[in-house]
Amino acid sequence: MITVAIEAASAVPVFEQLRSQIEVAIRTGALEAGQSLPTIRQLAADLAIAPNTVGRAYKELERSGLIRTARRRGTIVADLHADPILERRARLADAAERYAAEASRIGASLDEAIEALRTRATSTRAGPVSRPVGLSGGNKAASSELLRSLPPALSAQVAISPLL
Amino acid sequence: MSGEFLWQAGLVSLVALAVLWRGFRRPVEEDLRRWATRFGPVLDADTRPLITWFLHRGRRLRAAGAAAGLVVTGAPLYVNLIDPARSPDFAGPLSGMAWIIGAALGAAVAEISFVQRSLRAGTAALQRRRWDHYVSRRPVLYVGSVISLALAGAMLGLLAEVGQRTEVLAAAGAALAAGALLVIGLWHIVRRPRLAVEERWRVVDDALRADGANRVVGASAAMASAAASEAVWQILREVAPAAGLLISFMLFTVGLGLWWALSRDVVWRTKVEYAVT
């Protein structure tokens, strides 16, 4: 039987003790892919700790991709060697489910939710702002001088770099 | 004072006292051995006191419930002792089955009020518990079916204005109570903390849960069957009294039989595959 033990006197936070022990059990294969983990309430009751503490450990493990929440089976161990495409789809579906639930909870319409997602995805993909680069024939000081001579609206959009 | 009523009331009181006497009796060695054979734990110097206490406690609560139910069942007789002119029919619907309801509630209270504390604080198994680890799905399916039958019968009776309204409503109420007893009882049995993760205590823990789950399912089966029996009788009493009586009797008997079997005879080994590190 795979067990976890919590030391109340330890300096390590309880949620971290729990998270690290479950992670070891998953990475060593003691807990197999697809195996159900106890519910948050059950584990909290058995360990006599707050459900929030178990919830935090589970959230961290989920963020690391070690466990995932399946609709009917509760929290299960994720397949670390799964087909990456299928795994990506499953995680995307889970994330979409959470997003849809949150959007519904705050009363956003489907169009609003999609638009917000599109805006967010565009800004995330764009990464840091890239600016067109102009090459100047002079040295660094001459390039800076050239940049200063440009109209402010233009100088904010381009970068001038010395050719040599 | 009517001699007939005195005799009947005396008999009901005697049965209630006998139930109490038997229920409050401490489990003897034979009871413990039988229970260990049914559910699998090892009886030793450590486990024996806990198991004895658990069995005795559950037995006392169930007996108290049954005795209270018997007193309610006998209430018309007691009232007739004081007022012989009064018809015994004044009692409410299902009052004749109050002893079943009382004992079923006693079984539920025994489980729901059982506060189990972990013997080894800070340890837990990474094993999810489910109700079907502790009791067969079949009797639970039966309970669901008879509750549906009782509710469908009650609805039909109310809509078609067949049978006596109060009896039909009482049957629906008893069916809903049986469902609540089942759900709350099993939920509590699964949810309460594990005794300890060591193999010996793990088996005791599973056995206590399995015993409780079987008793709760048995009690709700009896209660739901009594409700369905009443509902069916109310529907058929005017159109097909013979068939109604037969079906009603069969439902009632099957419910009681199932209760008896689950509480006293069923042998169960918890169906959890514990992975080993």
Measured CA to CA, the distance from residue A10 to residue A7 in angstroms comes to 5
Q: For residue A25, give how far its alpha carbon lies from the nearest alpha carbon of chain B (Å).
A: 9
Q: For residue A68, give how far its alpha carbon lies from the nearest alpha carbon of chain B (Å).
A: 15
- Of B122, B191, B276, nearest to A7 by CB-CB distance is B122
The DSSP code sequence of A99-149 is HHHHHHHTT--HHHHHHHHHHHHHHHHH-SPP--EEEESS-HHHHHHHHHH
Provide the token pair at A82.
């799964």
Which residue out of A21, A32, A46 would a mutagenesis test of the B interface target, given it has the greatest number of B Cβ atoms within 10 Å? Answer: A46
Chain A residues with CB within 8 Å of chain B CB: 1-8, 22, 25, 30-32, 35-39, 41-43, 45-48, 74
Q: For residue A49, give how far its alpha carbon lies from the nearest alpha carbon of chain B (Å).
A: 8
Q: What proportion of chain A, given as a percentage, has pLDDT over 70?
A: 78
Q: What is the Cα B7 distance to its own chain's centre?
A: 29
| Range B119-122, long-range pairs (CB < 8 A, 24+ positions) | B119/B195, B119/B196, B119/B201, B120/B196, B120/B197, B120/B198, B121/A48, B122/A5, B122/A6, B122/A7, B122/A8, B122/A47, B122/A48
Provide the token pair at A35.
């195996």
User: B96: how many CB neighbours lie within 10 A of its CB?
Assistant: 15
Is A24's pLDDT higher than 50? yes
Q: Which residues of A touch B190 (CB under 8 A)?
A: 42
**This model's pTM is above 0.80:** no
Query: Given an 8 Å threshold on Cβ–Cβ distance, is A1 in contact with B202?
Result: yes
Backbone angles phi, psi at A77, to 5 degrees: -75, 130
Beta strand extents in chain B (DSSP E only): 123-125
Enter the ipTM: 0.75
Q: Which residues of A touch B133 (CB under 8 A)?
A: none
Q: For residue B128, give how far its alpha carbon lies from the nearest alpha carbon of chain A (Å).
A: 4
- Of B128, B191, B193, nearest to A37 by CB-CB distance is B128
Q: What is the pLDDT of residue B93?
A: 55
Q: What is the Cα B142 distance to its own chain's centre?
A: 14
Backbone angles phi, psi at A150, to 5 degrees: -75, 155
Provide the pLDDT confidence category of residue A159 given band limits of 50, 70 and 90.
low
- Of A1, A32, A45, nearest to B125 by CB-CB distance is A1
In a structure prediction context, what are the per-residue pLDDT tens digits for chain B, which is 277 residues long?
556 667 777 888 888 898 889 889 999 999 999 999 999 899 999 899 999 999 999 899 988 888 888 887 777 767 666 776 766 555 555 566 777 888 888 888 888 888 877 777 788 999 899 999 999 999 999 999 999 999 999 999 999 888 888 889 989 999 999 999 999 999 999 999 988 888 888 899 999 999 999 999 999 999 999 999 999 999 998 889 999 999 999 999 999 999 999 998 889 888 665 544 3
Q: For residue B65, give how far its alpha carbon lies from the nearest alpha carbon of chain A (Å).
A: 29
Contact yes or no for B47/B200 (Cβ under 8 A) = yes
Q: What is the pLDDT of residue B208?
A: 93
Query: Given an 8 Å threshold on Cβ–Cβ distance, is B125 in contact with A37?
Result: no
